[in-house]
């Protein structure tokens, strides 16, 4: 029985490369001369550190630009509040990946509402879709691509 998985994943290697490029650009830009500004990554959290909040805003634009050049969808970014303490301003950006249960329920409900001849089931941080023939699965993929969900979706593990 043909099936595929709906997942939301990030290429963390590309994210690390984008952070390195953004750090390099910040050190060479004229408007950041003499300012201690940097990006730091720890697991799925990227910290933007600078001296003032307007520098943070400029740096977040640089970060978004570098991520989009690397092919990473910026829908997976969740910005925290800018925290100013003493001489340092900091903002944490969370990289969201994996499908949580609420989004999994939305995806299965969307598939059932379209009355496609497929079954969708939530399995951990992915949704497995099975059907009797390949055309139904391809129609399901097209339906999910058209829908506006809060995370970018990828379709992998397609089996015939």
Residue ranges of the chain that CATH labels 3.30.70.860: 3-8+98-159
Asked if residue 139 lies in contact with residue 130, where contact means CB atoms within 8 angstroms, the answer is no
Q: What is the CATH number of domain 12-95?
A: 3.30.70.990
CA proximity to 118, closest of 38, 27, 6: 6
Q: What is the pLDDT of residue 1?
A: 83
Kindly report the CATH class assigned to 3-8+98-159: alpha beta
Q: Which pLDDT tens digit goes with each residue over 89-131?
A: 999 999 998 888 888 888 898 888 888 888 888 888 889 999 8
All CATH 3.30.70.990 domain ranges in the chain, comma separated: 12-95
Distance from C-alpha of 117 to C-alpha of 96, rounded to nearest angstrom: 31
Tell which residue, 119, 159, 156, 125, has the closest CA to residue 140.
119
The sign one gets for the Cα dihedral 113, 116, 119, 120 is negative
DSSP assignment, residue 117?
Answer: S
Residue 22, pLDDT score: 94
């Amino acid at each position: 029985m043909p099936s595929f998985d709906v997942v939301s994943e990030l290429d963390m290697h590309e994210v690390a490369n984008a952070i390195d490029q953004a750090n390099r650009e910040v050190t060479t830009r004229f408007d950041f001369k003499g300012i201690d500004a940097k990006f730091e990554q720890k697991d799925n959290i990227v910290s933007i550190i600078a001296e003032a909040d307007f520098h943070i805003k400029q740096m977040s634009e640089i970060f978004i630009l570098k991520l989009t050049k690397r092919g990473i969808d910026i829908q997976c970014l969740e910005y925290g509040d800018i925290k100013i303490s003493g001489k340092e301003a900091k903002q944490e950006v969370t990289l969201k990946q994996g499908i949580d249960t609420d989004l999994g329920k939305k995806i299965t409900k969307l598939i059932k509402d379209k009355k496609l001849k497929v079954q969708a089931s939530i399995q951990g941080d992915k949704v497995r879709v099975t059907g009797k023939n390949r055309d139904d699965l391809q129609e399901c993929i097209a339906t999910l691509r058209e829908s506006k969900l809060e995370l970018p979706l990828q379709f992998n593990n397609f089996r015939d």
